[in-house]
Structure 1
Amino acid sequence: MNTFSRLLFSGLTLGAVLVLGGPVAAQPGSEPRILKLNHTDTPSGARHLAAELFAKRVEEFTRGKYRVLVFHSGQLGNDPQSIKAVAEGKLDFTASATGSFAGLVPELNLTALPYLVDSYEQGWRFYDESPWMRRQFDKLPAKGLHHLATWEAGFRSFTTRSPMIQPADAVGKKMRIFPNDMIKWIMESIGYEPVVIPVTEVYAAIQQGRVDGQENPIDTIRALRFNEVAPNIVLTQHVYSPLPFVASEALWLRLSAAEQESFQRAGKEAAALSRRLVRDADEKNLEAMRAAGAKIVRPDIAAFRKAMSSVYERAAKVYGGEVKAILVDARAP
């Protein structure tokens, strides 16, 4: 083929591409790079819907160069295992409660202080705009993680086998928790004996009577059907518990600046979806669980605030001035 023919062929090919809808992501003959995202929510939960949107947007924004496979229900590991795998570069993405990252950045324990924030809007402002929060997330790259966005899960409340109306009802009973000092101290402040169990094993643990119940946001309670084995849903809303969405730092450093922007943009779109889904579905989820036989209890929050206030004193002995610093940011107007 002579020079003129090659130029003519190239021009015709470009024209065909433009007519058919724009450039194709990958080079001819190349396959998209497969990335993996694992989480512990079920396919009906907001976390999974956010993950699916993230995967869709990544493929769109990178024009097919990357494809994200989403694994739900802890198929590739529970929350601590997923975080460890992402940090080691063996998994590409995960989303988990902020306190789950405290093993890498201990100060993140403080985000689980009881009644730190009182509304979704206050929580979103804190996670998106707080200098204190940014300082903690900026510590993650050295641990092998890169924070992309903060997805939503909601405010943590109890589901119990035994009736629970006031803090005294917790005394002498066992409560499942995830491995987090602040959550442990909260349970102890009202009399529970905290027991660490991976979330993927909690349903069976309650069913077998190993614990009296668990505490999680409403969306998670319904998605994992905890109301079936612990039918008292006690709306203490004691901890705001969103989900930092992280990528492997090893992956992040391999991306071009344009690719990084695409992944960040996809993560934030997924965050907006999860926030809307969780906030708007709280009452609908409660009504569905009530219709399925659960008892919805709206206790005297003041009694729980008072009982859990000792956690702040305990935290100050360990974290010093960080407690005051997070309070200033979390409660800023």
Structure 2
Amino acid sequence: MKRAFHGVRRSLLAASALALALGGIALPAGAQQAITLHGASQFNDDHAFTKTMVKFEELVKKYYGKPVNFVLHKNSELGLEKQYFEYMSQGKAVDYAVVSPAHMSTFSKAAPFIDAPFLFRDLAHWNKVLDADTFKPIADEIAQRADVMLIGYAGGGVRNIFSNKPASNLNDIKALKVRVQGAPIWSRAFTAVGMAPTVIAYNEVYNAIQNGVISAGENEAAGVEQMKFNEVAPNLLMTQHAITIRPLCFSGKTFKTLPPDLQRAIVRAGKEAGAYGRQIESSEDGAKLDAMEKAGKLKRIAFADRAKMKALVDPVIAAYAKEIGAEAIYTKINATK
């Protein structure tokens, strides 16, 4: 019996066709063709997000215990994270991927709140918030409206501003043209501290700085290294304004077509792979910056006014939480010790 799977490929179709061509050799009665799941990453094998998805594959195979194939499309082969999320929502091309919450804002206004600027005090606070499943109401909303499941939380990179000129205080970054993520909260936060934020596609940032369209961007160490932003903006302003949370997502449409035991394996593996990804990125973050600075590829600049910056942003975050109905989540985050 032929079963149609949205977004799920059958790896043995070619073999079956060949068998028929060679004389109608058929699979044994009741034999199942292996399911194939497609993942996508903007990055290469060395990036924490790619490693997270490789770990997810390993764990699913371990917990499922039956044949299942994975194809991970790397180096932006299938576009960027925004496209991955849209594909997963539609149930085509991509079944799983790590995606920034900013790219989910079309479906959920609350999604970008998951890693809004100055939301976490430090890595310990960040980990406790995630372990407490504080963002479950937002995950539920995304699942309902976009039909995409947040099955784990990777991330852990501390985001700083990379700039083509040095700066060490609020006065230095006044009117700085900086690229921010597409979610409104990012533009509002950076406007509140006196900068001039603009939304530019991630893969266009390098050229935009090179051509003088903008002067800066903001990212964690892995992103700066992977995209070589330091080549056009070698000054890293240590604002430490955010700690990334990058949900490991899975297409709801694909999930519904899978056998129950594979569904259970995916949910279990997703949570564990997310935790693995957090450990990798948070531990690699400082080491990457150390190596890049030692090689003369960038210069870290202490930012004296981080506390003042946070004081300017906090009211904006509080107002945004109220606007999107996330006041209870914001209160819970602040109360987490």
TM over 0.5: yes
Query: Is 1:270 paired with 2:273?
Result: yes
1:59 paired residue number: 61
Shift of 1:185: 0.9
1:217 paired residue number: 220
Counterpart residue type for residue 332 of structure 1? T
Counterpart residue type for residue 186 of structure 1? A
Change (3 A) 1:255 1:288: same
1:7 paired residue number: none
1:88 paired residue number: 90
Q: Work out which of the two has the higher radius of gyration on C-alpha atoms and give 1 or 2.
A: 1
Change (3 A) 1:269 1:165: same
Counterpart residue type for residue 305 of structure 1? K
Tell me how far apart the structure 2 counterparts of residues 113 and 269 of structure 1 sit (CA, whole Å).
23
1:120 paired residue number: 123
1:155 paired residue number: 158
Mean Cα deviation higher: 78-87 or 188-197: 188-197
Change (3 A) 1:130 1:50: closer
Instruction: With the length of structure 2 as denominator, give the TM-score of the two structures.
Output: 0.83
Query: Is 1:322 paired with 2:314?
Result: no
1:298 paired residue number: 302
- The match for 2:109 among 106, 128, 131 is 106
2:11 paired residue number: none
2:80 paired residue number: 78
Tell me how far apart the structure 2 counterparts of residues 63 and 243 of structure 1 sit (CA, whole Å).
28
- The match for 2:317 among 305, 308, 312 is 312
Aligned residues: 306
Shift of 1:169: 2.0
Structure 1 segments unaligned to the other structure (5+ residues): 1-25
Tell me how far apart the structure 1 counterparts of residues 202 and 62 of structure 2 sit (CA, whole Å).
33
Tell me how far apart the structure 1 counterparts of residues 321 and 268 of structure 2 sit (CA, whole Å).
37
Q: How does 1:169-248 map to 2 (within 5 A)?
A: 169-248=172-251
Change (3 A) 1:130 1:53: closer
Structure 2 segments unaligned to the other structure (5+ residues): 1-27
What's the Cα RMSD here?
Answer: 2.3
Mean Cα deviation higher: 297-306 or 243-252: 297-306
2:336 paired residue number: 332
Change (3 A) 1:316 1:120: closer
For the residue of structure 1 that corresponds to 2:106, the secondary structure is coil
Tell me how far apart the structure 1 counterparts of residues 326 and 276 of structure 2 sit (CA, whole Å).
31
For the residue of structure 2 that corresponds to 1:167, the secondary structure is coil
Shift of 1:183: 0.8
2:25 paired residue number: none
Tell me how far apart the structure 1 counterparts of residues 164 and 32 of structure 2 sit (CA, whole Å).
55
2:42 paired residue number: 40
Change (3 A) 1:151 1:312: closer
For the residue of structure 2 that corresponds to 1:94, the secondary structure is strand
What CA deviation, in whole Å up to 9, does each residue of 1:78-123 have, x standing for no partner?
1211111111101201112223222211112333443211222321
Tell me how far apart the structure 2 counterparts of residues 163 and 273 of structure 1 sit (CA, whole Å).
35
Identity of aligned residues (%): 22
Shift of 1:145: 0.4
Task: State whether residues 32 and 66 of structure 1, in contact with CA within 8 Å, keep that contact through their aligned partners in structure 2.
Answer: yes
Tell me how far apart the structure 2 counterparts of residues 273 and 113 of structure 1 sit (CA, whole Å).
22
1:164 paired residue number: 167
Task: State whether residues 158 and 285 of structure 2, in contact with CA within 8 Å, keep that contact through their aligned partners in structure 1.
Answer: no
Task: State whether residues 177 and 214 of structure 1, in contact with CA within 8 Å, keep that contact through their aligned partners in structure 2.
Answer: yes
Tell me how far apart the structure 2 counterparts of residues 268 and 322 of structure 1 sit (CA, whole Å).
23
